[in-house]
Amino acid sequence: SQQGEEDPQALSIQEGENATMNCSYKTSINNLQWYRQNSGRGLVHLILIRSNEREKHSGRLRVTLDTSKKSSSLLITASRAADTASYFCATDEKNRDDKIIFGKGTRLHILP
């Protein structure tokens, strides 16, 4: 079963609007990471948030982590056409360093 699962599976919004994607996971973690993938390309690391952090910012990206709910959200503000991509969360398991699991991703489409 998936450790991390993103929601929604797909999202279409108008350019300029904010996009929010969620990730839920099952076990306690050390870190949670968000990656972006443009169609057919390799994944690009966006941001890493540690289990003792609650919020992190990077440019137009804001990530929150709620370990009590085992969930994270990725907010992209003032979306642009170039943000059209799939977004994945990746989690490990606390006290293990031998496995990292990616969710199936959220496909984000920014409409002009």
Only one residue has tokens 């003792």, namely 52
Residue 19 or 32 with smaller CB distance to another protein: 32
Q: Which is nearer to another protein, 40 or 59 (CB)?
A: 40
In whole angstroms, the minimum distance from the beta carbon of 109 to another protein comes to: 17
Closest to another protein by CB, 17 vs 96, is 96
Closest separation in Å from C-beta 1 to another protein: 12
Give the interface with another protein as residue ranges (CB under 8 A): 2, 30-31, 33, 35, 40-45, 48, 88, 92, 97-105
- In the complex, least distance from residue 14 CB atom to another protein, rounded to whole angstroms: 27
CA distance linking residue 105 with residue 25, whole number of Å = 13
Strand ranges for 1-112 from DSSP E: 4-7, 10-14, 19-25, 31-37, 43-50, 55-58, 61-66, 71-76, 85-91, 101-102, 106-111
Distance CA 44, CA 67 (A): 24
